[in-house]
Amino acid sequence: MHMFSKEKKFFGGHGIVGAQVPIGTGLAFSNVYNKTDAISITYFGDGAANQGQVYESFNMASLWKLPVVYVVENNRYAMGTSVNRASAETDFSHRGLSFKIPGFQVDGMDVRAVKAAGDLAAEHCRSGEGPIILEMMTYRYRGHSMSDPAKYRTRDEVQKMRSESDPIEQVKKRLTGDHGMSEDEVKAIDKKVRDIVADAADFAQNDPEPDPSELWTDIYAEDIPQAAE
């Protein structure tokens, strides 16, 4: 699977929960160091938010006023553990308080709210005020993996979210209801998006593996002396 693209400025996928937070913070540092006006958008989950490295990163980002937007995706579960069972402070937008990092909660199911919060956060970073936290209030429909029977929540809870708060359904309803778009037009957009996703998945699965010689790229090591006979 291809989960990294320097060209598209997408720097992860990481197996270690929370590891992308210091990386995203470092990328923000490099943007300042190289005098660009780029900002780093660093995503992590409600579970990852309890990792120590997150707070080491917060401290440096705030101290050095790095242009990084920390986006906490609060989908209410970390694997099978609900936020209330795992977190002493469940308002993740406050997690930066002792580092003087402002933050606020956003309706992560409403694309308009997400766009507005993103614009505001980007402006905050670009004006030199340092990092900011956006807590995206969202929900995870599926289990953590194929082997997750999701016994830690009721079917009703999932169903209620799907029927009342689904972000795509909300947009569809607004387009057809308030903006007079026809069902066929909505279906055409849906198909276009599905094709883009199918192409991306195809590329990720069929892109060739790197040549084994790449193992030595950027690796430097002294000759190791042989033990005396």
Ligand X SMILES: Cc1ncc(C[n+]2csc(CCOP(=O)(O)OP(=O)(O)O)c2C)c(N)n1
Residues 164/132, Cβ–Cβ less than 8 Å: no
Question: What is the distance between the alpha carbons of residues 214 and 229, in angstroms, rounded to a whole number?
Answer: 34
Restricted to residues 127-146, the positions that interact with ligand X (CB under 6 A) are: 140, 144
Q: Could you tell me how far CA 102 lies from the centroid of its own chain?
A: 18
The C-alpha atoms of residue 23 and residue 38 are separated, in whole angstroms, by: 15
- Contact pick of 9, 10, 16, 168 for ligand X (by CB under 6 A): 16
Choose, by CB under 6 A, the member of 11, 41, 43, 75 that binds ligand X.
75
Position among 28, 39, 48, 69 found at the interface with ligand X (CB under 6 A): 48
Task: Report the relative pairing of strands 81-82 and 68-74 from DSSP bridges.
Answer: unpaired
Measured in degrees and rounded to the nearest 5, phi and psi for residue 64 equal -100, 10
**Which residue in 75, 13, 15 sits closest to 47, CA to CA?**
75
Q: Which of 46, 58, 62, 87 binds Mg ion (CB under 5 A)?
A: 46
Among 27, 28, 54, 78, binds ligand X (CB under 6 A): 78
Closest by CA to 136, choosing from 197, 32, 49, 35, is 49
Number of residues that bind Mg ion (CB under 5 A): 4
In the stretch 159-198, what mask flags binding to ligand X with x, by CB under 6 A? Answer: ----------------------------------------
- Residue closest to ligand X (Cβ): 45
Q: Binding residues for ligand X, per CB under 6 A?
A: 15-17, 45-48, 75, 77-79, 140, 144
Q: Binding residues for Mg ion, per CB under 5 A?
A: 45-46, 75, 78
